Amino acid sequence: MNKDYIELGVSMVRTGILGYGGGPSVIPLIRHDAVIRYGWISDEEFGETLALANALPGPIATKMAAYLGYKRAGGLGAFFAVVAHILPSVLAMILLLSAVNYLAGSKVVKGMIAAVSPVIAVMLGVMAYEFAKKAVKGLGIAAGIAFMLLALLLLQVLHVHPAIVIVLFLAYGTVHYRAVASLRRKQERNGGTP
């Protein structure tokens, strides 16, 4: 079996099993494998892909799995990564459905769920901090904080759908990037003077 398929399979099965709680808890795990462990993509590309995937309908973890699979091994790799990611959960649901009904009122199960929730919150907080640090580094502290506050205002106060906020920020980023690139080209033509 190809090395790409082995790495994809191991990563997607692991994130599929350990990603308790759905998409938000899986994203830091996928990021760790894709960026740090295997180096498939850069942190910047992961952030851009995550933003785009959030704007599309469907579960975020399967979209990220499909993207990484496609990036590593084309269309077949995308299919393989999605199956590897969801198969453990599907099998566990089929095998443990009767046990869930039996244990639904158990204090032990309620305690386990309560214990896992803070871990997920910390993982999301660390990822948000790292992305915020990169935003401040790239935009400057004033602009970075201003954009974070604008996103908070749009999402929490005005209740704008997250996909719309993401599309707005992507559109701004595109315009900003092109304006900066145009300014640099103009400076280069003028011999380095503004």
DSSP one-letter code for 57: S
Residue 14 has pLDDT above 80, yes or no: yes
pLDDT at 67: 93
CA distance 25 to 61: 9
Using a 10 angstrom Cβ sphere, with 0-12 exposed, 13-18 middle and 19 or more buried, the burial of residue 11 is buried
CA distance 60 to 30: 11
pLDDT at 127: 86
**pLDDT, tens digit, 9 for 90 and up, residues 73-130:** 899 999 999 999 989 888 888 887 777 677 767 788 778 777 888 888 888 888 888 8
pLDDT at 178: 86
Q: pTM here?
A: 0.55
Proportion of the chain above pLDDT 90, given as a percent: 28
CA distance 67 to 53: 9
Using a 10 angstrom Cβ sphere, with 0-12 exposed, 13-18 middle and 19 or more buried, the burial of residue 15 is buried
The pLDDT of 11-38, averaged and rounded, is 85
pLDDT at 134: 83
Query: What average pLDDT does the chain have?
Result: 85
Proportion of the chain above pLDDT 70, given as a percent: 95
Is residue 29 classed as helix, strand or coil in its secondary structure? helix
pLDDT at 35: 92
**pLDDT, tens digit, 9 for 90 and up, residues 152-175:** 999 999 999 988 998 898 888 888
Rounded (to 5) percent helix, strand, coil in the chain? 85, 0, 15
